[in-house]
Amino acid sequence: MSFTVFEQAPARLNRSELAVPGSSVRFLEKAAQGDADVVFLDLEDAVAPDEKEKARKNIIQALNDLDWSGKTVSMRINGLDTPYMYRDLVEVLEGAPGKLDLVMIPKVGTAADVYTVDCLISQIEAATKATKRIGIEIIIESALGMANVDAIAAASKRNESLHFGVADYAASTKAATVGIGGPNPNYGVLTDPLEDGERHYHWGDMWHYALSRLVVAARAHGLRPLDGPFGDIKDAEGFKAQARRAMVLGCEGKWAIHPTQVALSNDIFTPSESEVAKARAILDAMEQAAKEGRGAVTLDGKLIDIASIKQAEVLVHKAEQIGA
Residues 278-297 contacting ligand GLV, CB under 6 A: none
The answer to whether residues 51 and 21 touch, using CB atoms and an 8 Å cutoff, is no
Residue 255 CB, nearest approach to ligand GLV (Å) = 8
- 141 or 160, CB closer to Mg ion? 141
CA–CA separation, 185 and 199 (whole Å) = 16
Report the SS3 class of residue 47: coil
> Does 256 contact ligand GLV by CB under 6 A?
no
Which are the contacts of 294, defined by CB distance < 8 A and separation ≥ 6?
none
Q: Quick one: which of 219, 207, 200 has its CA closest to 246? A: 207
Stretch that binds ligand GLV, among 110-118, 164-172, 236-244, 290-298 (CB under 6 A): 164-172
Which are the contacts of 92, defined by CB distance < 8 A and separation ≥ 6?
56, 59, 60, 63, 75, 100
> Does 118 contact ligand GLV by CB under 6 A?
no
> Does 225 contact ligand GLV by CB under 6 A?
no
Residue 311 CB, nearest approach to ligand GLV (Å) = 29
> Does 229 contact ligand GLV by CB under 6 A?
yes
Is 141 labelled a binding residue? yes
Report the SS3 class of residue 52: helix
Which are the contacts of 209, defined by CB distance < 8 A and separation ≥ 6?
none
> Does 17 contact ligand GLV by CB under 6 A?
no
The answer to whether residues 228 and 207 touch, using CB atoms and an 8 Å cutoff, is no
Is 275 labelled a binding residue? no
Site string for ligand GLV, 166-205 (x = CB under 6 A): xxx-------------------------------------
The answer to whether residues 9 and 161 touch, using CB atoms and an 8 Å cutoff, is yes
Residues 118-177 contacting Mg ion, CB under 5 A: 141, 165, 168
Residue 166 CB, nearest approach to ligand GLV (Å) = 5
37 binds, among Mg ion, ligand GLV, none (CB under 5 to 8 A by kind): none
Report the SS3 class of residue 269: coil
- 106 or 183, CB closer to ligand GLV? 106
> Does 79 contact Mg ion by CB under 5 A?
no
Give CA separation, 50 vs 56, 57, 213, in Å.
12, 13, 36
The answer to whether residues 229 and 166 touch, using CB atoms and an 8 Å cutoff, is yes
CA–CA separation, 68 and 20 (whole Å) = 14
> Does 141 contact ligand GLV by CB under 6 A?
yes
Binding residues for substrate: 76, 141
Binding residues: 76, 141, 168
Task: List residues binding ligand GLV (CB under 6 A).
Answer: 106, 139, 141, 165-168, 228-229
Binding residues for Mg(2+): 141, 168
